[in-house]
Amino acid sequence: MSNHIHSGYISPFSTRYASAEMQFVFSEDNKFRTWRKLWIALAKAEQKQGLPITDGQIAEMAAHQESINYEDAQRRERECRHDVMSHVYAYGLQCPKAAGIIHLGATSCYVCDNTDVILMSQGLKIARRKLLNVMALLADFAEGYKDLPALAYTHMQPAQLTTVGKRATLWLNELVMDYEELAHRMNSLALLGSKGTTGTQASFMELLGGDSEKVKLMEQDIAAEMGFSRVVPVSGQTYSRKMDYAVMSSLSGIAQSASKFSYDLRLLQSFKEMEEPFEPSQVGSSAMPYKRNPMRSERVSAIARYVMVDALNAAITAGTQWFERTLDDSANRRIAVSEAFLGVDAILNILMNICDGLVVYPKVIHARVANELPFMATENILMDAVKKGGNRQSLHEKLRMHSQAAARIVKEEGGQNDLIDRIAGDPAFGITRAECLAILKPQMFTGRSSEQVTEFLRDVVKPILEENRTVLGEKQELHV
């Protein structure tokens, strides 16, 4: 067997989709290092409130914070079937002086739940940074194409005109909504703190002589040590699983926006109006050499679907917890939360790549506009003819008949739209072909599209990008 082929299952997020950066956040190594940081924070906070914990014990714990003896922990877990106590034991082997005070007064959720919040916070920071980079690329695209008229659609049928840049603002506005939701979620995250087995802090009251103030101060110190300003006000053994749902709902929002964008781009690519980047050596189809499949956008659609559905895991878990806690959340959350982050990471990586190289074909766009514009211009032609003394009702009926006849030529015979010739040839309108064509300037039918782009970018998007300019400029290459 090749050294590169594995005999066991490996998640495609690890091999194809998610970045090494996001994978590290949800790695075992990051999790267990965070556990040790939390045990050190607990020891420091307990010492500060008068418990007999020495500086030497804390220094010993700090010296082994990063160098985890996994073999000892795994051997112990095979015996006791408890991951937290196995790591307490392994840490104690490295820190013999501190072994007796590691995890003092705490329950497993002290390290597990607080770590989960910390990892989600780290993951949200990465997602936020990448989202901002996608927004910056789309903002540049919208600005560059704000004046290019294009067909707009309702019911997937040609309606009035828009501009290519204006359509891009629809995609961008949804990402702005996601950014605002993400920012709110990050600001709302709170640690579980040190709440004890059923959330009553009874063990810490016992340790600290029944002094409520000391218990509260200890919890605040732990949060500060871990970089948080807040702990949840009340809890059972765990923080409310609605917090997971809120985070995953924010991630689902990004997936929803990305999905809408990817479907639009796939449709535009089928019209040959726009394309995602296509590498010179890229193969579109194993059977059809001429094909240029929108594989990046299709991948976004696929992974977005997964993330949107995955958010239901958190909703169901939050709604099925019993009293102060049950353990049926654990296995589900272990998979669902991390993979929601890995999925959104993959989506944002692809979007950065797509938006950095979007291809526009103005001549195709113009040709498709020109084929539909005569139908859209009938109202203007009608008003012009009425000004010259025509009867609105009879002219409206004539336009209806001419439009249907022209549509038949296009649909049934595959011919060109000849509506303008029909109108110019009908003396009832009193309008020449040249006068008709003068009305058919696409820019006259895009309304405030260009101004809307300018205003939206100036008033909404650019302030956000300016505030976060230090994280912009990221590029993303796709390797598969």
| Contact by Cβ (8 Å): 453, 165 | yes
The CA distance from 165 to 449, in Å, is 8
Ordered DSSP codes for 324-381: T--GGGHHHHHHHHHHHHHHHHHHHHHHHHHHTS-EE-HHHHHHHHHHHHHHHTHHHH
Cα distance between residue 312 and residue 303, in whole Å = 15
At 421, list the tokens. Answer: 């010739």
Decide: helix, strand or coil at residue 150.
strand
Contacts of 299 (CB under 8 A, 6+ apart): 346, 350
Contact 110, 204 (CB under 8 A): no
- Residue closest to 73 by CA, chosen among 59, 58, 84: 84
- Cα–Cα distance measured from residue 39 to residue 58, given in angstroms and rounded to the nearest whole number: 9
CA dist 55 and 290 (Å) reads: 71
* Cα 60 from Cα 95, distance rounded (Å): 6
Query: Pairing relation of β-strands 157-163 and 274-275?
Result: unpaired
Question: Cβ–Cβ contacts within 10 Å for residue 426, how many?
Answer: 16
Residue 285 bears catalytic tag:
yes
Which is the catalytic residue, given 67, 155, 286, 479?
155
158's enclosing H/E stretch is strand 157-163
206 close to 218: Cβ distance less than 8 angstroms? no
Name the active-site residue from 14, 212, 229, 285.
Answer: 285
Residue 86 falls in the annotated catalytic set:
no
* Amino acid identity at 11: S
Count of other CB atoms within 10 angstroms of residue 403: 17
The SS3 assignment for 192 reads coil
Give the Cα separation of 348 and 327 in Å (integer).
Answer: 33
For residue 358, what are the CA distances in angstroms to 160, 161, 275, 294, 297? 24, 21, 6, 11, 11
> What is the Cα–Cα distance from 67 to 194, expressed in whole angstroms?
25
Rounded-to-5 percentages of helix, strand, coil across the chain: 65, 5, 30
Active-site amino acid positions: 155, 285
